[in-house]
């Protein structure tokens, strides 16, 4: 059986990223199509040509073939029950490609399945999953893992094909920003990041000599976050997804009610309204 496990194409993890025991099971024939989408159009009536206005992505199917290798007939039924337990309906988990260990897909079972018996000890099933939240792969590690540990080729957090650079500037996600200067944040994924849809945390602290506001600007895409009052050195501002906290208190009404977004690749930032501040970014990368 250990020899057969080399044919595995995926590894399964629970929500806490503990690897799920799939002993005596082999997963092969992975089918992961491109992201389903629906084009949006306007016009197209009364002789007006239709105009493309964008596309909306949809949930992504993931299909696998599962082979069972039991030791004897009683073990066959125990293994069958184990498969039903692992892939119970409504239970989200992560699927990781064996040869792309740094990326994961959050998925749930999409439909029931039947295990076809090949002989008394072996069975096979076609199992269909669907992405539970976003159709993208996301990096297992986040930018603060890079900030703390760098990129280690032996780490299972990172791998080839993830858009990572050897440039040390691309590994910095905590900056001492100064007024009049710019700093860079590198998004190694190929998907833009919006805090309403993806994970994005920004901490702002040690704001020095704030006037009557503080502003963080992404000069690459024009997104801006602004505190509309003076900020002290002791204040800690946290943007965590759609939530804005100032010293652990809800702070949306004290802002311009806008959010920072990230483009793929390099993003150029500046600050205004203070001499300096410490800015920390923490987010995973997303891949089509």
Domains of the chain: 4-135 (2.40.30.200), 141-287 (2.60.120.860)
Q: How confident is the model at residue 23 (pLDDT cuts 50, 70, 90)?
A: confident
43: tokens are 């016009």
Between residues 194 and 159, the one the model is more confident about: 194
Contact predicate 109/87, CB 8 Å = yes
So what's the pLDDT on residue 75? 94
Contact predicate 287/144, CB 8 Å = no
Q: How confident is the model at residue 1 (pLDDT cuts 50, 70, 90)?
A: low
Short-list 139, 157, 146, 231, CA closest to 185: 146
Residue with tokens 């039991």: 70
> Which stretch of 18-27, 217-226, 260-269 has the lowest confidence by average pLDDT?
18-27
* Statement: residue 46 has pLDDT above 80: no
Contact predicate 77/85, CB 8 Å = no
Residue with tokens 């309204």: 273
Rounded to two decimals, the pTM is 0.92
Task: Tell me what the mean pLDDT of segment 58-62 comes to.
Answer: 96
Q: How confident is the model at residue 118 (pLDDT cuts 50, 70, 90)?
A: very high
Rounded Cα distance, 101 and 17, in Å: 12
So what's the pLDDT on residue 226? 98
Q: How confident is the model at residue 258 (pLDDT cuts 50, 70, 90)?
A: very high
Dihedral sign for Cα 101, 103, 106, 109, please. negative
So what's the pLDDT on residue 282? 99
DSSP character for 76?
H
So what's the pLDDT on residue 193? 98
Average pLDDT taken over every residue of the chain: 94
So what's the pLDDT on residue 153? 73
Between residues 46 and 40, the one the model is more confident about: 40
Rounded Cα distance, 272 and 10, in Å: 47
Strands 37-42 and 214-218: unpaired
So what's the pLDDT on residue 138? 98
So what's the pLDDT on residue 135? 97
So what's the pLDDT on residue 42? 87
* Statement: residue 28 has pLDDT above 80: yes
pLDDT per position as a tens digit, 62-108 = 999 999 999 999 999 999 999 999 888 888 999 999 889 899 999 99
Task: Tell me what the mean pLDDT of segment 17-33 comes to.
Answer: 92
Contact predicate 53/61, CB 8 Å = no
So what's the pLDDT on residue 88? 86
Strands 103-109 and 122-131: antiparallel
């Amino acid at each position: 059986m250990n020899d057969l496990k080399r044919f595995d194409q995926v590894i399964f993890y629970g929500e806490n990223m503990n690897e799920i025991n799939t002993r005596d099971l082999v997963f092969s024939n992975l089918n992961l199509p491109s992201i389903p989408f629906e084009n949006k159009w306007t016009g197209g009536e009364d002789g007006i040509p239709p105009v493309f206005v964008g596309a909306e992505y949809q949930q992504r199917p993931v299909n696998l073939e599962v082979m069972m290798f039991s030791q004897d007939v009683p073990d066959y039924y125990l293994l069958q029950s184990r498969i039903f337990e692992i892939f119970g309906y409504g239970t989200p988990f992560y699927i990781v490609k064996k040869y792309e260990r740094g990326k994961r897909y959050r998925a749930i079972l999409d439909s029931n399945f039947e295990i076809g018996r090949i002989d008394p000890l072996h069975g096979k099933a076609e199992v269909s999953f669907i992405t539970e939240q976003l159709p993208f792969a996301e990096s297992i590690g986040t930018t603060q893992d890079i900030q703390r540990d760098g990129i280690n080729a032996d780490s299972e957090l990172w791998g080839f094909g993830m858009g990572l650079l050897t440039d040390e500037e691309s590994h910095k996600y905590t900056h001492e920003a100064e007024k009049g200067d710019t700093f860079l944040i590198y998004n190694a994924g190929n998907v833009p990041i919006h805090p309403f849809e993806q994970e994005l945390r920004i901490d702002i602290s040690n704001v020095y000599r704030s006037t009557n506001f503080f502003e963080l600007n992404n000069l690459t895409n024009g997104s801006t976050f602004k505190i509309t009052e003076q900020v002290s050195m002791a204040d800690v501002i946290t943007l965590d997804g759609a939530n804005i906290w100032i010293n652990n208190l809800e702070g949306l009404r004290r802002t311009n009610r806008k959010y920072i977004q990230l483009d793929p690749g390099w993003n150029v930032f500046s600050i205004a309204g203070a001499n300096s501040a410490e800015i920390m970014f923490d987010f995973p990368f997303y891949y089509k």
